[in-house]
Homo-oligomer: A and B are copies of this chain.
Amino acid sequence: MSPLNFTHILTQAVDELSESKSYTGLFHQHKDGEPLPSARVLCDIIDLARAILFPGYYGNSTINSHTINYHIGVNVETLFNLLNEQILAGLCFASDGECDSCTESKREEASKLAAKFISRLPHLRRVLATDVEAAYNGDPAAESFGEVICCYPAIKAISNYRIAHELLQLGVPLIPRIITEMAHSETGIDIHPAAKIGEYFTIDHGTGVVIGATSIIGNNVKIYQGVTLGAKSFPLDEEGKPIKGIARHPILEDNVIVYSNATILGRITIGKDATVGGNIWVTEDVPVGARIVQPKAKK
């Protein structure tokens, strides 16, 4: 093949790939002046949020009790600005095709939502402090709160979830899901931002954990790696497509422990103080205080 042929192959591929038929449903048209949701900026947003919530552990800044006010101040302001822009991007993305452009009213709404989120940061820190304590108390290998905050993937995944959950409750589209998927990629823990999770929540090791969108988890719950809180099956509409928005994931009451690789499916309830053993498949309610395990293996 001569260089000319290469050029021909390239330009032909470009032409095919630029035909509108070929990208139906796979193409996001950008409207002039609209910000774009950006994975890189959302990364910065999470880094800032972690630096604000756990000062000195994240953000790598040379911070002490005399200067913390300056650092928190700059980080909060920067977080507000970046979030403002990304929330606006999310609003525009969600209304794709419905309206003509990114209006002034959307800009205002984005600012309001960003400010509301900022005002929730002290609450978020209070709840996350309970998660850190739970992780420390639950793991004999943990040597300090500092080690837990710096190293434990559960803290990263739960922080992202709690941030995303706040944003979702404020009505921000798309962004919450991207934020939990970032933690999913980093930790292997997949928590849907719509799940409801109480205080003192901890996940040990965590790789492979899945917590579905309509799950409800009480206080003081502990989950091990590979645990799935999933949907058993879902009703279809007339067109054979799944009906969206139905409660289809489990409820875990206070103090429940679920061991590694257990799979709990459907809108069932695992009662208070119950323990679910590893590697089992649970599709029916588990009574309060019960302990279920796998049948013996054959030798």
Contact = CB atoms under 8 A, between A and B. Distances in A.
A80 B6 contact: yes
A270 interface: no
Oligomer: number of copies: 6
A140 B230 CA distance: 12
A263 to B, nearest CB: 4
Contacts of A140: 213, 231, 234, 242-246, 248
A184 B145 CA distance: 20
A97 to B, nearest CB: 11
Contact of A147 (B108, B177, B281): B177
Contacts of A56: 27-30
Contact of A151 (B65, B178, B212, B226): B178
Interface in A83-135: 84, 93, 96, 101, 104, 107-108, 111-112, 115-116, 118-119, 121-122, 125-126, 128-129, 132-133
Interface in A188-219: 188, 190, 192, 194, 205, 207-210, 212-213
A204 to B, nearest CB: 8
A288 interface: no
Given A27-B54, A208-B188, A69 B18 contact: yes
A226 B84 CA distance: 37
Contacts of A138: 242
B260 A17 contact: no
Interface in A1-51: 1, 3, 5-7, 9-18, 20, 22-33, 36-40
A170 interface: no
Contact of A13 (B119, B128, B187): B119
A169 interface: no
Interface residues of A, number: 152
Given A25-B145, A77-B67, A121 B17 contact: yes
A178 B205 contact: no
Q: Which of A78, A139, A226, A297: most chain B Cβ within 10 A?
A: A297
Given A151-B178, A228-B260, A55 B73 contact: no
Interface in A143-198: 143-147, 149-153, 173-174, 177-178, 181, 184-188, 190, 192, 194
Given A9-B118, A26-B145, A140-B244, 12 more contacts: A22-B126, A26-B129, A27-B55, A27-B56, A28-B56, A30-B56, A140-B246, A153-B181, A190-B225, A265-B278, A279-B281, A286-B299
18 contacts: A17-B121, A23-B125, A26-B149, A27-B68, A38-B60, A73-B74, A140-B243, A143-B173, A143-B244, A188-B207, A207-B207, A210-B225, A224-B228, A224-B230, A228-B260, A228-B278, A282-B297, A295-B298
In the A-B complex, the 4 residue pairs with the smallest Cβ-Cβ separation, listed nearest first, are A70-B73, A28-B56, A140-B242, A280-B297
